[in-house]
Amino acid sequence: MDCKERILSNDYRDLIVDYSVRVGNESGQDLCYTEIDNLFRLVYVNKMNVPPIMDTPGEYQMIPKLFGLMPISGGSSGGQFDPAALTASGITQVQRQPLNLTGRGVILACIGSGIDYRSEAFRDEEGNTRIMSIWDQTIQDGNPPAGFLFGTEYTGEEINRALQAENPYSIVPSRDEAGHGTTMMEVAVGSRLVGRGGFTGAAPEADIVVIKVKQCKQYLRDYYMLPENVPAYAEQDIMLAVEYADSLYEKYDRPVVILMGLGTNRGSHSGTSPLALYLNSVAIKRSRAVVVAGGDEGNSAHHFQGMLKRGTDSAYLGTMENYRDVEVRVGANNRGFLMELWGSTPDIYNVTIRTPGGESVPMQQLGIGKSITYNFIYERSEVTVSSILVEPISGDELIIFRVENPTEGIWNFRVSASGMVHNGVFHMWLPITQFLTSEAYFLEPDPYTTLTEPAMAINTIGVSTYNDQNNSFYIESGRGFSRTGQIRPDFAAPGVNISALNGRKTGSSIAAAITAGGIAQFLQWSAVERNNQYLESKEVKNFFIRGASRSPDLVYPNKEWGYGRLNVAGTFDVLAGL
């Protein structure tokens, strides 16, 4: 079996490691691997040769996290195009003379569900495609991109031939079944369409690259207990998509904006996952920028923050007086969920669990790395508790609860500490909404620190969402700061009732798309037109922060708005000294 077959087979586990790997006869194991920019190795190993997931909790970072599409809602009626959101973002102002910034010469690469390449929104005035290439990871009967082992790459020439054919999909069979990537790219880079009410994207002359990420393997869906048919993408496949997008700069010697509308609630929420670290490494390169949606989890009640009383020592109290009860309401017919508790250094945390039926899991300190599974007498639920005293990258304690077939009702997780409490702060997260088969939420949630990963990656441009019609913050939008206090988001962008070709759309993915288009405009000015050719991504971000619109009655940075509201024209005002 070659490496491509291992990558695609459900009989092989996917691991993300940051150390050297011995292969084949050297290791005595049935495995292969591929490298990511000399930072990580993606290993594909026969599952018969490794223990079940989380039998050894220390491998937490190796297990691919699953990411979902950040929801896009809205009607399907087209209607008249309304440029109000682009104007509020200072985008239409710089599309006009004298700057005439339309993203010309910039590549905007979207990672997600694919694109409807037939749409007029992605063609030039002659009807030719503006798409340079599509890497469809889900199609295996064509040639993958150079340096990659699976999927099929379609060139712009092939797409143009498909557009001329009676059956385009006979030549380029790539589709966007979810419509998610198509909508994002309409908003970010849609062509100017006079016959469609003057529709235009933020950067209507940018060139387009699309990476359609393949769905995760079934064993991962089973481990995470996902609902049937919900799109879910594995971390290592997204990392490969980022590597492909990053390679475009060297291939074409042109600036690249990477756009992602994917998110997850797994991870430290401080930018320490492999994907976040890799995005950070890409985002600091010259003429690159990474734009990530902040997610729509702010009103989902999927985050809890608690604090134990400092200076107390439960060992001397004789009772668990210094504790915090965390209650989770679980709906009927819930297949199960993974919940994470991240505790701040140097404290050591313990948890006692009580089911809705009154059965209890006794408090145990699990130590450096251990998993214990509990079954109940009167309930069919099964709970596995896994502990990592020092999670390798963040250095903090992580406790993972895998609750299978949970009884409907209120589950109680009593959090306490071992020994003297020095910090006492802990956070807990439930999965993103679409990864739950029925409701599960905290009864006392905290709406902050709800930006989804990887928007917490500090070098990326992470945005929250607001309504430009009244300058109100979108209630579903993720909020900052990071778990460790880093300033996230960078700023807010319009994402409510935004004009797209097939109606008005709402969601954090739309806000990210508008932002990515604005970044493409700026990179046209700085890199393509050589006004500041060697600008780094962090500089781009800080120019945008300085140009953001701010309200006099708010203090910045803050957890909803970051440093203000996206304003591309304001950025150029700063450059001009206005």
pLDDT for 224-282, tens place per residue? 999 999 999 999 999 999 999 999 999 999 999 999 999 999 999 999 999 999 999 99
* Stronger pLDDT, 316 or 465, i.e. the higher one: 465
Between residues 65 and 1, the one the model is more confident about: 65
Residue 578 has pLDDT above 80, yes or no: no
pLDDT for residue 179? 96
Could you give the CA distance from residue 431 to residue 441 in angstroms, rounded to a whole number? 9
Mapping DSSP onto H, E and C, the string for 100-141 reads CCCCCCCEEEEEECCCCCCCHHHECCCCCECEEEEEECCCCC
Above 60 in pLDDT, residue 83?
yes
Instruction: Please report, for residues 12, 137, 547, the alpha-carbon distance to residue 1 in angstroms, rounded to integers and kept in the order given.
Output: 11, 19, 54
Residue 322: what pLDDT?
84
pLDDT band for position 194 (50/70/90)?
A: confident
Q: What is the pLDDT of residue 54?
A: 65
Say what the pTM is. 0.96
- For the record, the structure tokens of 140 come out as 């295996």
Block residue for tokens 């020994």: 419
Please say if the pLDDT value at position 317 is more than 60. Answer: no
Is the pLDDT score of 489 beyond 90? yes
Residues of the chain with CATH 2.60.120.1290: 303-442
Q: Output the CA–CA distances (angstroms, integers) from residue 544 to 139, 254, 261, 417, 519, in the order listed.
A: 38, 21, 20, 43, 9
Q: What is the pLDDT of residue 313?
A: 63
| R_g over Cα of the chain | 24
More confident call, 55 vs 537:
537
Angle between helix 568-576 and 537-547 (nearest 10): 90
Residues of the chain with CATH 3.40.50.200: 73-115+175-216+232-298+452-576
Are residues 108 and 190 in contact, defined by beta-carbon separation less than 8 angstroms?
A: no
pLDDT of residue 533: 78
Give the confidence band of 53 by pLDDT, cuts at 50, 70, 90. confident
Q: What percent of the chain has pLDDT over 90?
A: 82
Decide if 483 contacts 271 (C-beta within 8 A). no
Question: Does residue 577 carry a pLDDT above 90?
Answer: no
pLDDT for the residue numbered 394: 87
pLDDT of residue 366: 64
Q: Are 137 and 211 in contact (CB under 8 A)?
A: yes
Q: What is the mean pLDDT of the chain?
A: 93
pLDDT at 395: 86
Q: Is residue 535 within 8 Å of residue 287, measured between CB atoms? A: yes
Q: Structure tokens of 344?
A: 């701040």
pLDDT mean over 137-163:
97
Look at residue 367 in the predicted model and tell me its pLDDT.
61
Q: What gap in Å lies between CA 541 and CA 459, rounded to an integer?
A: 9
Residue 318 scores a pLDDT above 50: no
Q: Structurally, what CATH architecture does the domain formed by 303-442 represent?
A: Sandwich (2.60)
CA dist., res. 249 & res. 277, Å (int)? 20
- What would the two tokens of residue 254 be? 């042109």
Name the pLDDT band for 148 (thresholds 50, 70, 90).
very high
Match 């985002």 to its residue by tokens.
283
Q: How far apart are CA 139 and CA 561, in angstroms?
A: 40
Residues near 122 by beta carbon (within 8 Å), at least 6 away in sequence? 115, 116, 129, 130, 131, 185, 189, 190, 191, 208
Average pLDDT score over residue span 451-474: 97
Taken in order 363, 394, 41, 275, the sign of the CA dihedral is positive
Specify the CATH number for 73-115+175-216+232-298+452-576; select among 2.40.50.100, 3.40.50.300, 3.40.50.150, 3.40.50.200: 3.40.50.200
pLDDT tens digits for 352-372?
Answer: 999 999 999 887 666 666 788
pLDDT at 298 over 70: yes
